[in-house]
Amino acid sequence: MHETTPHCFANHMGLYLCQPAWLMQAVALVRAGAYPLIDARPPTPRERLYHVGTDGVAVIPMSGPLFKGGSKFSSASTVDTRRAVRQARDDPDVRGILLHIDSPGGHVAGIQELADEVKATDKVKPIHAHLDDLGASAAYWVASQARHVTANATAQVGSIGVIAIVEDTSGAAELAGVKVHVMATGERKGDFAPGIPVTDDALDALREEIADTHEHFLAAVSRGRGMRGKRLDAVADGRTWIAAKAQGLGLIDAVASEDDAFGGIVRAAKSNRPGRRQRAEVAIRLADLRGRDSHM
């Protein structure tokens, strides 16, 4: 059964870090009732959230639009992916992690936390990200925190930016003979309520929220890819680039097939054999991470 719940609204309302063309198409399909829906199934407590072979590499998929919790629109949950990264980090059978990404991006909620998890875990075990056809916006934010980023030759990479869409339905309400009254305690509390005019002040407040979120995105890409100033500004205009151009701009490290990307993380995993002192440092980092994340 596909239900609409407060949890569902929390997953889908608000700011998006998403490839605009994909988002417009998705909105049109949802309105037409034609978007393919799924039934989310939470993992059982002992279930491995990734595949790991004898090579010691855990492959964690991120496919489709990203939402914080389970969504009827996608199985790609940032919470589940974060749990998978943690689980792989603590798994003695895992020596390296490959994030296999094919995603247009998604909701803002949960993205920074997942990206931070990737960055912290890479200090313990190597994480590579492979962009398979599409690594845009929120998906690229996460990928940029990996040690090594590859993409297949025809992949679209980038779309660094934040987007929000609002509609002024006051004209339609007036034509329908409906007058909307918003009773709120604050000047901005009722902004964008259906049926009321969208004011310039409301749009200014939204622009500020978008700009603040965008700064977090830029800071993450700067940390992960070592970009600064004009070089960072040049890739932060919302466009995507085909893989070879993305490599030239510094967004990825190499154009590679999925097999080549997997081979790269296998080699990195084989060299990930910490000595006694390094094992002690890893234990300290894991204890610190568990302490920070005990709220989850």
Question: Which residues sit opposite 107 in a β-bridge?
Answer: 16
User: What pLDDT is stored for residue 156 in this prediction?
Assistant: 98
Q: Which residues of 269-281 are buried (b: 16+ CB within 10 A; e: fewer)?
A: beebeeeeeeeee
Q: Is the pLDDT of residue 44 over 80?
A: no
Q: Is the pLDDT of residue 220 over 70?
A: yes
The maximal CA–CA distance of the chain, rounded, in angstroms, is 75
**Average pLDDT of the chain?**
84
pLDDT tens for each residue of 134-165: 999 999 999 999 999 999 999 999 999 998 88
In CATH terms, the fold of domain 6-161+226-292 is 2-enoyl-CoA Hydratase; Chain A, domain 1 (3.90.226)
Mapped to the 3 state alphabet, what secondary structure does 80-126 carry?
HHHHHHHHHHHCCCCCEEEEEEEECEEECCCHHHHHHHHHHHCCCCC
Q: Is the pLDDT of residue 41 over 60?
A: no
User: What pLDDT is stored for residue 211 in this prediction?
Assistant: 96
Which pair of structure tokens corresponds to residue 237? 């205009």
User: What pLDDT is stored for residue 51 in this prediction?
Assistant: 86
30 confidence band (pLDDT: 50, 70, 90): low
Q: Is the pLDDT of residue 284 over 70?
A: no
Q: Are strands 16-18 and 105-107 parallel, antiparallel or unpaired?
A: antiparallel
| C-beta separation of 6 from 153 below 8 A | no
Contacts of 242 (CB under 8 A, 6+ apart): 153, 154, 155, 156, 157
User: What pLDDT is stored for residue 49 in this prediction?
Assistant: 84
Distance of CA 215 to the CA centre of its chain: 15
| C-beta separation of 131 from 101 below 8 A | yes
Which pair of structure tokens corresponds to residue 261? 């990307």
Q: Is the pLDDT of residue 73 over 60?
A: no
For helices 111-121 and 78-90, what crossing angle results, to 10°? 10
Instruction: Round to whole Å and give the CA distance between 18 and 15.
Output: 9
Instruction: Pick the range with the lowest mean pLDDT from 31-35, 79-83, 198-202.
Output: 31-35
Q: DSSP letter for 175, please.
A: H
pTM, full prediction = 0.78
Instruction: Pick the range with the lowest mean pLDDT from 49-58, 78-87, 272-281.
Output: 272-281
Rounded mean pLDDT, 212-227: 97
- Taking CA atoms, 42 is separated from 56, 70, 77, 112, in Å, by 25, 8, 10, 22
Contacts of 236 (CB under 8 A, 6+ apart): 160, 161, 214, 217, 218, 221
Q: Determine if residue 105 is left, alpha or beta; phi over 0 gives left, psi from -120 to 50 gives alpha, anything else beta.
A: left
Q: Is the pLDDT of residue 296 over 50?
A: no
For helices 276-292 and 111-121, what crossing angle results, to 10°? 160
Q: DSSP letter for 271, please.
A: T
